[in-house]
Structure 1
Amino acid sequence: MIVVAGESLIDLVPRENGSPLSPLLPRPGGGPYNTAVALGRLGAEAAFCSRVSTDPFGDALLDGLRTAGVDVSLVQRGPEPTTLAIAAVGTGGSASYAFYAEGTADRLFELPPRLPEAVRALAVGTCSLMLEPGATAYEALLRREADRGVFTLLDPNVRPGLIPDADAYRARFTGWLPSVSLLKVSEEDAAWLGGPPAGAASAPPAVVVTRGSRGLSVRTRAGLEASVPGVAVPVADTIGAGDTVNAALLHALAARGALAPTALDTLDADGWREVLGFAARAAAITCSRTGAEPPYAWELEA
């Protein structure tokens, strides 16, 4: 089982890109939520670990997880409202967000008991590691599960507008790295974060960098490097593309028996290109449709 821990929210997506007063369409979202749904659609055994509101939005979010085949037994519920994210989509499909997250359910997430023995990997990231007091609980979950040998993926998916002290967050991010098996960052995240380069003693075993339409690359702590180009598609928007990459990486690594902290060292350049190519194809499908709508396994097989 792969557990994804972090926020779920409602994306309010404009009906017309580039129009600030366009009617807004509510869509399930949140980086970890999208990753969990993508895993379920790919056929992975996945579970979601978060705190979700008991309001109608929260009910809809859980319905979306169940429909995708995601286990919700680790979800905490609370009466606080669901976080809202208003998306502004540019003419090229790239999205920026304004968040309404004060006093929302996910921020009150509490550290759960030790995850089941069947858990092979844990994925964390995005707003859940920025907003207290929940951020401390998610951080503790990451460290605890890594210490007992669970494979971990971190996608910081930085939202600078939610970070009151950039230097403090960067220092905290660097402190997470010894507990991370696979770090996935966008070029923009990497530039904002700085931090130790791949290959440094404190770096994770592997770092995957997404480069938009130019594809993905990986560099391992051992010095191996591999890249794949992007897949050209008509872009509706990029919402959920990076989250789809997270799910596709985990799914492809699981298929190769590589979901173990030391197993990434067994992948050669060709193996990594196959993993990255699968992620690039999955992300391209997500970009081809409005909102975070990751692909199903049959779409990639086709």
Structure 2
Amino acid sequence: MIVSGGEALVDLVPAESTPDLLAPRLGGGPYNVALAAARLGVPTGFLSRISTDRFGDALVERLRASNVDLALVQRGEQPTTLAVVALEEDSSARYSFYTEGTADRLVADPGPLPEAVTTLCVGTLGMVLEPGAGVYEAVLRREAERGVLTALDPNIRADMIADAGTYRARFLSWLPHVRLLKVSVDDAEWLAAGAGVDAAVKAWLEAGVTAVVLTRGAEGLSACTAAGEVASVPTVPVEVVDTIGAGDTVQGALLAWLEQRGVRDLTTLGAADWAEALHYAAAAAAVTVSRSGAEPPTADELAPGV
């Protein structure tokens, strides 16, 4: 089973018919990862604390409808985190977050995850906002120790990071416990702080990461290991509505592909394997960006194009 840990929130996005109005869309990076993996047919759970307000009820129901296991979901009376989304001319998304006193920040440490858990993925605001960030960090380190395949997507929201230097140092402290690092080129540049993406990727691999998957927007995806860049694939051509949830879908699809094949050790993958995995992830992301909001595909929707 895959477990994705982190925030669940509501994106307020420009309405399709009236862009001046905002329409609610259920989301959050780790939440979207869980949806993406579960919809592709692999056992998936979600670790978070979700509000008991109406938004929280809707978030939980959507997880249930997508066959996400709810055993690790906690509930709390505090409100749901909100993200106001502005779409740029290239359909990319810019976010403003409302996180003060929200339910997901108060997630409790669940202790060791069930033995059935084979993969753990964390990231985004879950690894930024305290006290929850400390909980997810502790879970990451503990599960890595017992041999779970660990994945991280930092999904940088710079406006939410009060001290960039402290965050970058903390990010580096996670890497010995991370096997798969998925990061956009923009986020890689921010994390590299002027050192250059190639040099940063090399340093992250030397720190203990087994593989780094770089998402390059319209330029596609690439996978880097100790052997260098081992595979690269283009994006799948599609009419883009918006890019909300695209990177989350890539992560969920990659983890689903690995889970479907029983891969626990990424060093066993060759260049052809990585190319197949990246193509699968790119195809899944293409479906998501063709829709408004984060709406990952099901396995049936993806099958004709893979």
CA contact (8 A) 2:177 2:208 kept: no
Looking at structure 2, the residues matched to 252 and 76 of structure 1 have their Cα atoms a distance apart, in angstroms, of 28
Q: Does the 8 Å contact 1:41/1:68 carry over to 2?
A: yes
> Structure 1 CA distance, aligned partners of 2:133 and 2:266?
28
Does residue 217 (structure 1) correspond to residue 219 (structure 2)? The answer is no
Deviations 1:16-75 (A, max 9, x none): 5995xx111111000000111111111110000000001111000000000000011111
Matches within 5 A, 1:115-134: 115-134=113-132
Contact 1:8-1:83 at 8 Å conserved across structures: yes
Amino acid of the residue matched to residue 235 of structure 1? V
Q: Once superposed, which parts of structure 1, at least 4 consecutive aligned residues long, lie more than 3 Å away?
A: 16-19
- The one-letter code matched in structure 1 to 2:292 is T
Specify the alignment match of 2:67 in structure 1: 69
**Following the alignment from structure 2 to structure 1, what is the Cα–Cα distance between the partners of residues 16 and 95?**
16
Alignment TM-score, normalising by the size of structure 1: 0.96
For residues 213 and 124 of structure 1, the distance between their equivalents in structure 2, rounded to whole angstroms, comes to: 25
Aligned twin of 1:4: 4
1:237 to 242, 253, 268: 242
CA distance in 1, matches of 2:37, 2:294: 13
User: Aligned letter for 2:6?
Assistant: G
Larger deviation: 218-227 or 46-55?
218-227
- Shift of residue 300, structure 1, vs aligned partner: 1.0
The one of 44, 50, 53 equivalent to 1:55 is: 53
Q: CA deviation at 1:170?
A: 0.2
Structure 1 unaligned spans of 5+ = none
The 8 Å contact of residues 222 and 231 in structure 2, kept in 1 or not, is answered as yes
Q: How far did 1:267 drift?
A: 1.0
State the superposition RMSD in angstroms: 1.4
Q: Which residue number corresponds to residue 43 of structure 1?
A: 41
Tell me the amino acid that sits aligned with residue 150 of structure 1: V
Corresponding residue of 2:106:
108
Question: Matches of 1:236 and 1:224 in 2, distance apart?
Answer: 30
Q: 1:1-302 maps to which residues of 2 (within 5 A)?
A: 1-16=1-16, 19=19, 22-194=20-192, 196-198=200-202, 200-223=205-228, 225-258=230-263, 260=264, 263-302=265-304
Partner of 2:196: none
Residue 18 to residue 232, structure 1, CA distance change in 2 (3 Å)? farther
Contact between 2:84 and 2:95, CA under 8 Å: does it hold in 1? yes
Instruction: Give unmatched runs, 5+ long, in structure 2.
Output: 194-199
- Give 3-state SS (helix, strand or coil) of 2:228's partner: coil
- Amino acid in structure 1 at the alignment position of 2:5: A
**Sequence identity, in percent?**
58
Cα separation, 1, equivalents of 2:39 and 2:17: 27
Q: Aligned residues, how many?
A: 297
Matches of 1:11 and 1:160 in 2, distance apart?
Answer: 17
